Structure formats: C-alpha cells, structure tokens
Amino acid sequence: MNDGTAPPNGGWFEGVDRADLDGAAAAITDGEADEPDDWPALAVASGRTESTDAYYEWLHQVTVHATARVVRERERADDQQLKHAVRAMDDAARTANELAERVEEWAGALFDDVGTGVDVAARDPQDPTEERVVALASQVAALADERDSLRQYLETHAPTVVPNLAEMAGPVLASRLVALAGGLEPLAKMPAGTVQVLGAEDALFAHLRGRAPSPKHGVIFTHEFVRGTRRDDRGSAARAFAAKLALAARADHYAGERRDRLHADLAERMARIRARAEETDERGDGA
C-alpha cells in the first residue's frame, strides 16, 4: 500500500506482486480505508488481476497465508512454550509411571531380586529377553530424567513470562493454568469464577447435567492456599485465590511487570480466612 494506511485507486493489492504472499498479507492486515469500496472492480480496472473471480481466489490465498502466519507467531510466543512444556512434563510423568509398572511386573518374572527401575536398567542382560527388559527400564529412567528437566525449565522460565502468576501460584501451577486456558491472553480475559474451576471441566459438566454438585475448585486445589485450608473454608479460599490469579494474569498480559500489591492483598485475605478456623477452634475449646 502506498502510505500504509489506506488503499490507493488500485485497491488493497496496489504495488504488490502476485507471488508476494507476505506483502499481500501485510496489505490486508495492516492497511485501512476511510470507507468501503468495490475493491475487486478497482483491482481489475488497475490491472492488478484479470477478473473478479481471480481477485477472490487471490484474496483467499492471501487470507489463508496471513492466518497461518499469525498462528505460527502465536505458537512461538513464550506463553505457548509454557503450555507445551507443562503438557510434555505431564506426558513424560504419566508414560514413565505406566512403563515402570510394566518393568516391575516383567522383571519380577525374570529376576529373584527386583529393585527399582534404575536397578533393572543397571543390570547386565544375559539373553535377548533380559536385554528388552533392561532396555525398557533404561527408557523409564530417561523419561523420569526428562520429566525432571522439564520441571526445572518451567521453574526457571515461567517467572520471566508470567512473573505475577509464577510468584502467586508457583511456576508449575502457573504454567498449568496457562495451558488449560490455551494461553496467557485467554487466561487474562477469563473471569475469576472460570479460573477457579479450570481443570475441573468433567465435574462442571456433570453438575450442569444435574448429576453432581458444583465444583468448588479445579487444578488450583493443588496449591497450599486451597489444599492446606480446612475443608469448611476451602470454597472461600478457592474464590479468593482465583480472584487474585485472574488479576495476576491480567497484569502479566497487559503490563508484564510484578505488582506487589496483588501478592500482599492475597496474603492478607488468606490470613483472614484461616483466622476464622482458629477462632472457631478456640470457641470450641472453651465450650
């Protein structure tokens, strides 16, 4: 486009080579016009394309290319790397656990003194069957090591991507929330009530079908603020925690800097909730 703001007389693709999909994509994504016009007719009149059908075919190719480019850029964003890493960590842990059970069962049928998977992996196999068991045990150990490496990656990388979420929830839980939401931006746009039940979708759907009570919390239950609060107060703790997590996600997405007040407010709120339990206990002791 001539000035980068509005299409000239030739339409959106004025000055763009037909083979230059990146240039054409930039023209339609970055350009703007003061008012609508008959862009296909303008493109034909200016010689940019031979017919309106050809124009729409070109436009289709360009819009698909532009969409694919946006998807690639989003997938390469740092928050998406947290999503992939935490999912890979979970996959490695689940697979390692399943194979460890298989190794224990198989090795138990071959060896009299079966230890851990690491012990089996260190054995010197004496026949083809033992070779397979030892090789499988080695894969289990490698998967467990990769799980630990992925956790370490999250613990060091998450605080640079989502500083408030990582401090408030811990790096792994923060990454898990980003993954469940599909990214930092959708998480930042979620109301606190939705953040509260992320990871409890099955229970929520069962509740909506009238088969179960409404879930009070999802994956945030793994955090000490919820799990470590007495059962009667967990609903209050989950709501308070989710509300601050929603604010932390917005701060990370829109500002990208640590907000001290958020963390102080959460600590004060949790202290008040837990103080209720202490007061109840004191009244009960005195009764």
Query: Which of these, 183, 166, 189, lies nearest to 257 by C-alpha position?
Result: 166
Report pLDDT for 73: 56
Contacts of 90 (CB under 8 A, 6+ apart): none
Report pLDDT for 214: 66
Report pLDDT for 5: 47
**198, 180 Cβ separation under 8 angstroms:** yes
Report pLDDT for 26: 76
Report pLDDT for 54: 80
Return d(Cα 194, Cα 204) in angstroms, integer: 10
Q: What does pTM read for this prediction?
A: 0.71
The DSSP-derived string for 187-216 is HHTS-HHHHHTTT-HHHHHHHHTTSSPPPS
Maximum separation of any 2 CA atoms in the chain, in Å = 92
In the block, which residue shows the tokens 């509005």? 6
Report pLDDT for 42: 75
Report pLDDT for 111: 87
The DSSP-derived string for 147-187 is HHHHHHHHHHHHHHHSHHHHHHH-HHHHHHHHHHHTSHHHH
Chain segment 184-219, per-residue pLDDT in tens: 999 999 999 999 999 876 666 665 676 666 667 789
Query: Buried (b) or exposed (e) across 247-272, using 16+ Cβ within 10 A?
Result: bbbbbbbeeeeebeebeeebeebbee
Structure tokens at 90: 């979970």
Which stretches of the chain drop beneath a pLDDT of 70?
A: 1-15, 18, 31, 33-37, 65-76, 115-117, 201-208, 210-215, 280-287
Look at the chain and count its residues.
287
Phi, psi of 88 (to 5 degrees): -65, -40
Report pLDDT for 34: 67
Report pLDDT for 3: 45
Structure tokens at 281: 């206990």
